[in-house]
Structure formats: structure tokens, C-alpha cells
Amino acid sequence: MPGARLEQLAEIETAVWAELCAAVRDKGHPWRVGVLATVDGERADARNVVLRDIEAAARTLLIYTDARSAKARQAEHHPQGMLVLWSDPLGWQLRLRVHLMLQTSGLEVSSRWAQLKMSPAAHDYLSPLPPGSTLARPLPQRGSRGYFAVLSAEVWSVDWLELHADGHRRAIFDAKGPRWVTP
């Protein structure tokens, strides 16, 4: 949508969710990969993640991960996270305040694993050692059991920033209602 400058808060919010829906379908979408920040005790932590799916009515984004990963542990101890996305074509940054929930079993997880397990991406969840384990050399083998987990990120607030030659704009969409703020 480059060039079309939206004026109304309601249309901006609608466009943000439409782009998030596009991002989970289109592997080339700039919002397909974002930075998820979490709290690790008293320290910050952050890493890239892929947006795999969206439940737009529930304002929830789905991320796949290894159940033994640091982010999974952090999400269970401190479910507040921040997902940061940037699209150069749109000129839009999103800072999504999210509530994280780790799912390691149940129909949601097993049906997604059934789809994924025959694909090369399954290797990401089959390592015999947890992510971050110290290794003498890269792992040659894979284990037989999956540690696949779905990390759901319910969006509690959207901080939208548009960079534009005619002036930057910023708006917040949260429980207090949509409003313009200074960039």
C-alpha cells in the first residue's frame, strides 16, 4: 500500500490487522519475521521469530518454538512480551505489547505438529539437546522426539509508528481506545 496515506485511526487499525494477516500467509512479507522481547528475571532478552499464524478475532499471533527454549521458560515465568515489526515498503513500525502463553500439548499443538513433522522445519524441534546447550561441534544427529510448542501472543496494545517524508505519525491502539501520540 505504499503511497496511500491513511487518515483515520479506525482505517489505520484495520490496515494494521490486514497486514498482520498477510504476513502469516506471505513468506516474503517484512512482518513475517519480528523481534520478540521477553523478560529473563531482571534482564531483557530478545530474538527473531517467524509469525506462523493469526487468530485475528482473538487478536492473537502464533509462533512455533522448542518447548525447552529460553523464551519458552521466560514466557511461562513472565508472560508479558513485546513484538517489534518493521516494514520498509509501508514505512510502519509496530510495537505489540503481547501476553504470551506456551502450549506444549492439546489438539492445537498436535494438529500443527502433524502438518510440520514431515517438513525440513521439523528439525528445529527434534534436537536431543535443549536450545543453547554448549556443544563441542555442531550436532550431527537428531533425536526421535519432538519438543514442538506453540507460543501464542495475544496483542494487548499496538504502538504504530509511520515514517514519512511529509511528517512522521504515531498512534496507540489499546483498551483505552485509539489515539494519536507524538512520534
Under the rule (CB under 6 A), what is the footprint of ligand FMN?
33, 45, 47-50, 63-66, 69-71, 131-132
- CA distance linking residue 71 with residue 34, whole number of Å: 14
**In this complex, which beta carbon is closest to ligand FMN, that of residue 108 or of residue 174?**
108
The separation between CA 50 and the C-alpha centre of its own chain, rounded to angstroms, equals 6
**In this complex, which beta carbon is closest to ligand FMN, that of residue 33 or of residue 172?**
33
Closest residue by Cα to residue 170 from 157, 178, 182:
182
**In this complex, which beta carbon is closest to ligand FMN, that of residue 19 or of residue 66?**
66
* CA quadruple 104, 106, 107, 110: dihedral sign: positive
- CA distance linking residue 88 with residue 77, whole number of Å: 34
Least gap, CB of 166 to ligand FMN (angstroms): 32
Least gap, CB of 65 to ligand FMN (angstroms): 3
Residue 158 grid coordinates: 499496538
Least gap, CB of 51 to ligand FMN (angstroms): 8
**In this complex, which beta carbon is closest to ligand FMN, that of residue 15 or of residue 70?**
70
Least gap, CB of 70 to ligand FMN (angstroms): 3
Length of the chain: 183
